[in-house]
Structure 1
Amino acid sequence: MGGIAYLPFASSNEKWIFAALELALLGSILAITMIGQKRRWHSRWFETRRVAEYVRHALVMLPLGVVRAPSRWPKGAETSWPEWYARRSLREAGLPRAQLSQAYLVSVLRNLLATHVEQQRDYHRYKAKRLATAHRNLDKLSEALFALAVLSVSTYLVLKFGGVQHWWSKDIAENSSYLFTFLGVALPTFGAAIAGIRYFGDFERFASISDVTAERLAGIHVRISQLLEGPESALDYGQVAELAREVDETVINEIESWQAVFAGKHVAVPV
């Protein structure tokens, strides 16, 4: 882009300024990509994110002394230390020092499980809506840029043809040729870049994942509400523990889904 950006703004004698700017930008992109690959920036972010998600959602299970079986943990494509670290961190916390009375179970169910499920349900609904909106907006923006590129080229041809037919001065097309050349390259370039962001970002797929997760959590929240509305004496540890496991299973499935998507995204070249 920098190589032609001078056309509507400067003379050919000043082209070197724009070329130097483009070289600096390309060099920066290459340097960031190479350093990021060498230091595993993307992989390290991905791994630490996994640990954070495991620990965050495990907090609803610890007060009940419920844990996920080792065989039920997700498997990392390249590394397994996040799962290893999360399991041992949770094991170190140990069993809760509490009496599993009816009042304790109700408190855990109402103040911990219900709140956590409600927050996660609302979060995934909001996330799905935002991602779907981003998906549509990026599509529209990309299409608009390509449409503008077609309009730009068509306008120049009309001006050129009108000048030849003496409908208006030929100088109009001649004086604006650099501008239309720039637009003819810049608009589809930006349109393709936006389309690349849209495809690489997988907004639609992540929106679907959040939609499914939100629906599952909504079903669990209904069951929690039914238990809380019932007699306290009918509540037992098995029911609450089972709900905690279902919450954990739901969020772990969601984590596995976005892990599968992100694990296949390797930034090998600066795109």
Structure 2
Amino acid sequence: PAGVAGAARSERAKLEAFLAEPWPVRHEPPVHEAFCALFRGEWRAVGQALVSTVVRPPILEPHPSEGEWVEFINGSPDEGHQALRLKRVLHRRFVIADLLAERYAERYRGLFVAMYLLSACAVLAAIFGLLLPGSHATLGWKIVLVLLEIVLLTSILLLYRQGRRDEVHARFVDYRALAQALRPMRALATFAEHAQSGGPARAAGGWRSWYQSATAREIGLPQGHLGATYQDSLLRSVAKAEVGRRIADHSVSRAAAQQVEHGLHQFGHVLFFGTMGILGLAAVLFLATYISHDEGLGEWSLAAKPWVGFLAAAAPTIGAALVAIRFTADFAGQAQHSEEMVADLEDRQLELTAARQKQDFETTRAALLSTARLQAEDVEAFLALYGRKHLALPG
């Protein structure tokens, strides 16, 4: 059918786009990272991120995962050449997917942060006209403000079209899901359970499923006697390099997301109560002027009136932009998911420890598959969280 053929072509196009991605991967301006660092109160990180938008640092060599993978492979009980293939094939492909995911994540997040902030600036430019008296002398400034609004709105539209053209959201989601699915394959391959990697996302088909299957075929089967010594060595490596590392990663992610969420929440309070304070002071001033009929207070009231209107409109505008960013990024959801994953991973560590003590083939297999299923659920949770949050114009 035409629909099936079109879907197949689409999946093939996605695979070809992934294979054609430029290497080495280029850094993107860390707009989102600067925003998060600002609300975490990490001023040095904000400065570094701003500098990186102009002078892009080189790609880190080796990849941050290098030590973890070397440790896992060195502890591999395989007696053949599979350990070498884990490094040359699986780790290399994981690094490629991970770096591409990081690049498109920064582009996607940076775009929606920039668009929401620019939209707030456009509104601020419009209401800034309230401060200008309605005379011919200020007409030039009003024209400048109108032109500034046009530039800001045009910039938003160009950023949006660039993001849609380059499919930054789809690539971010696909590449991150692929990297997260490739990672647990190292443990499953060492126990000849390649087919179990990926969970429902892989079973659903698509180009990522094909890529995982092709990678599994290239890795091949392990060589050696899958006895007690083999199982103990594998379980120890999985508990330390796989589960332990993921616990550390999610703990860091949870803390960072909670800090940003708390910072945004606190800044929202500042805007809200600051606006109430300004309106309260203005009300007192206007009421005193009305009661006293004092000319001095009257002049103060006339001078304060446009500023009160501007500030009363500016604070909610900034707050609305931050709420939109907060909703799209879902820092609270990220923190909650990481907290749940830490608890589940700690349970898997206990399961792996129990399997090491029992040293039974089926128990070892069940513990490894349980760990793999949890990581597959992590992929599914990621897809559920970000898969529906397409890039959209502010409005």
Q: Which TM-score applies when normalising by structure 2? A: 0.60
> Which residue number in structure 1 is paired with residue 310 of structure 2?
182
1:178-229, Cα deviation, whole Å (9 max, x unpaired):
322221111011111222222222222332322222211101112323444x
Mapped pair 1:216 → 2:344? yes
2:199–2:373: 8 Å Cα contact kept in structure 1?
no
> Which residue number in structure 1 is paired with residue 170 of structure 2?
43
1:135–1:198: 8 Å Cα contact kept in structure 2?
yes
Equivalent residue of 2:392, what SS?
coil
> Which residue number in structure 2 is paired with residue 3 of structure 1?
126
Runs of at least 5 residues in structure 2 that lack an aligned partner in the other structure: 1-123
Out of 382, 387, 391, the position equivalent to 1:258 is: 382
> Which residue number in structure 2 is paired with residue 248 of structure 1?
372
1:6-26, Cα deviation, whole Å (9 max, x unpaired):
555995532333332222121
TM-superposed deviation, 1:28:
1.0
Out of 109, 134, 143, the position equivalent to 2:235 is: 109
Give the Cα–Cα distance (whole angstroms) in 2 for the partners of residues 76 and 150 of structure 1.
Answer: 55
> Which residue number in structure 2 is paired with residue 119 of structure 1?
245
Mapped pair 1:52 → 2:159? no
TM-superposed deviation, 1:95:
1.1
Letter in 1 for 2:387: A
Change (3 A) 1:252 1:126: same
Mapped pair 1:238 → 2:362? yes
Runs of at least 5 residues in structure 1 that lack an aligned partner in the other structure: none
2:355–2:367: 8 Å Cα contact kept in structure 1?
no
Give the Cα–Cα distance (whole angstroms) in 2 for the partners of residues 184 and 163 of structure 1.
Answer: 20
Count matched residues: 266
1:125–1:211: 8 Å Cα contact kept in structure 2?
yes
2:271–2:316: 8 Å Cα contact kept in structure 1?
yes
1:143-197, Cα deviation, whole Å (9 max, x unpaired):
4312322222232222222223246522222222232222111101111122222
Mapped pair 1:17 → 2:144? yes
1:24-58, Cα deviation, whole Å (9 max, x unpaired):
12111111112222332211221111111111222
> Which residue number in structure 2 is paired with residue 191 of structure 1?
319
1:85-127, Cα deviation, whole Å (9 max, x unpaired):
2222222211123443433322222133333111212322332
Letter in 1 for 2:362: G
Letter in 2 for 1:4: I
Root-mean-square deviation (CA), in Å? 2.8
Out of 139, 161, 164, the position equivalent to 2:265 is: 139
Give the Cα–Cα distance (whole angstroms) in 2 for the partners of residues 21 and 180 of structure 1.
Answer: 23
Equivalent residue of 1:68, what SS?
helix
| Bigger relative CO (Cα 8 Å, ≥ 6 apart) | 1
Letter in 1 for 2:261: H
Give the Cα–Cα distance (whole angstroms) in 2 for the partners of residues 13 and 156 of structure 1.
Answer: 30
> Which residue number in structure 1 is paired with residue 107 of structure 2?
none
Change (3 A) 1:28 1:103: same
Equivalent residue of 2:382, what SS?
helix
Letter in 2 for 1:91: R
Letter in 2 for 1:225: T
Deviates more, 1:58-67 or 1:5-14: 5-14
> Which residue number in structure 2 is paired with residue 92 of structure 1?
218
Equivalent residue of 1:74, what SS?
helix
Q: Kindly, what percent of the aligned residue pairs are identical?
A: 23
Change (3 A) 1:155 1:68: farther
Give the Cα–Cα distance (whole angstroms) in 2 for the partners of residues 268 and 249 of structure 1.
Answer: 33
1:5–1:182: 8 Å Cα contact kept in structure 2?
yes
> Which residue number in structure 2 is paired with residue 202 of structure 1?
330
2:196–2:369: 8 Å Cα contact kept in structure 1?
no
1:145–1:187: 8 Å Cα contact kept in structure 2?
yes
TM-superposed deviation, 1:244:
1.6
